Amino acid sequence: MPLAISFLSDFGRTDEFVGVVHGVIARIAPEVRIIDVGHDFDPGDVQGAAFALMRSIQYLPEGVALAVVDPGVGTERRAIAARTPWGFFVGPDNGLLAPAVAIVGGADLIVSIEDPRFRLPAEGETFHGRDVFGPAAAVLASGQAKIEDLGPIVDPGTVAPMMVPLVEPDGLGGVFGEVLWIDHFGNAQTNVSPADLGSLGIQPGVDVSVVIAGIDHAIPWATAYGDVAAGDGLIHVDSYGQIAIAVRGGRADEEYPLSVRTAVGFRPSGTIRIPISPIESHES
């Protein structure tokens, strides 16, 4: 039975690039199903796409993850495929695959995609999604080739990592993290976890001192958007289990000076603001 291919890129939707990769895969392996995880990441934003793949991978069917955010295309950076307990990962060796590969248990084999039998001939070197990664994903998903057939084995120690930012103590009884992702609704996900806040004695239902751009904001830790009035800010546990900053009926990235990689501090305030409902938080 063929494996599904989960496809993520920064190709956008205004050009034909996504459709062309679909077409290449369909010509090689017409029986393979393709799931589009997302294609509107900022051009060249390897970190943003890497974290999106990491967030998504636990919900995707085991198979092949095809990820193409590749500002180094045409340079000496390698095209790689990795075998993991979840399945195969195919993409550039620039850290894009690393967080998701780690989440599913790591790779027991990584190869450099070099065999010309599994690459499309092309005059240029600027569309490896079409010419290199798409064909490799197709033959792996359909069983037409084994990962060892694609090229020589790579030493895992030479594969580019992705440095995940760590939560740090701020020296004032709080922690500093940073914004990892701002979603379509303007919610700002941070790398801070509920456990990080719990270790400071901060619990749901109280105001939290949230420091953004040096300004201290008293924002309640809520369970659901409905726990605060329309237009008010809140922090909550988002659908991926991280602490996020949101505004009910609005955008957190407009109400506060938030963007990806903005530093955000969290400190105890202790003022009980709201009762906590049993309803889980969700994106609006």
Query: Quick one: pLDDT at residue 284?
Result: 40
Kindly state the average pLDDT of the residues 251-278.
Answer: 81
Per the CB < 8 A criterion, the answer to whether 235 and 243 are in contact is yes
Q: What is the mean pLDDT of the chain?
A: 94
H or E element in which residue 51 lies: helix 46-56
Query: Quick one: pLDDT at residue 140?
Result: 98
Q: What percent of the chain has pLDDT over 90?
A: 90
φ, ψ of residue 169 to 5 degrees: the values are -65, 145
Query: Could you tell me which of 105, 283, 266 has the C-alpha nearest to residue 193?
Result: 266
The reply to whether CATH 1.20.120.430 applies to domain 168-272 is no
Measure CA 28 to chain center. 28
Residue 200 has pLDDT above 80, yes or no: yes
Per the CB < 8 A criterion, the answer to whether 221 and 204 are in contact is yes
pLDDT tens-digit map of 32-74: 999 999 999 999 999 999 999 999 999 999 999 999 999 999 8
Per-residue pLDDT band for 135 (boundaries 50, 70, 90) equals very high
User: What Rg, from alpha-carbon coordinates, does the chain have?
Assistant: 21
Query: Quick one: pLDDT at residue 271?
Result: 54
Q: Of the given ranges (95-104, 241-250, 271-280), which has the lowest mean pLDDT?
A: 271-280
Query: Quick one: pLDDT at residue 46?
Result: 97
Residue 270 has pLDDT above 80, yes or no: no
Query: Quick one: pLDDT at residue 279?
Result: 38
Residue 277 has pLDDT above 60, yes or no: no
- Measured from the Cβ of residue 173, the count of other Cβ atoms closer than 10 Å reads 11
Query: Quick one: pLDDT at residue 4?
Result: 98
Kindly give, in sequence order, each residue whose CB lies less than 8 Å from that of residue 83, ignoring residues fewer than 6 positions away: 107, 108, 109, 110, 147
Kindly state the average pLDDT of the residues 107-131.
Answer: 95
Q: Of the given ranges (186-200, 248-262, 268-282), which has the lowest mean pLDDT?
A: 268-282
Q: Which CATH number fits domain 4-158: 3.40.50.970, 2.40.50.100, 3.40.50.10790, 3.40.50.720?
A: 3.40.50.10790
Kindly give, in sequence order, each residue whose CB lies less than 8 Å from that of residue 70, ignoring residues fewer than 6 positions away: 77, 91, 92, 94, 96, 128, 129
Residue 276 has pLDDT above 70, yes or no: no
Query: Quick one: pLDDT at residue 273?
Result: 56
Half-sphere exposure of 146 (CA within 13 A, CB side): 5
Measure CA 209 to chain center. 27
Kindly give, in sequence order, each residue whose CB lies less than 8 Å from that of residue 50, ignoring residues fewer than 6 positions away: 67, 69, 95, 96, 97, 98, 99, 100, 162
Domain edges within the chain = 4-158, 168-272
Tokens of 283: 């994106």
Per-residue pLDDT band for 282 (boundaries 50, 70, 90) equals very low
Q: Which residue has the higher pLDDT, 256 or 125?
A: 256
φ, ψ of residue 252 to 5 degrees: the values are -65, -30
Kindly state the average pLDDT of the residues 182-201.
Answer: 96
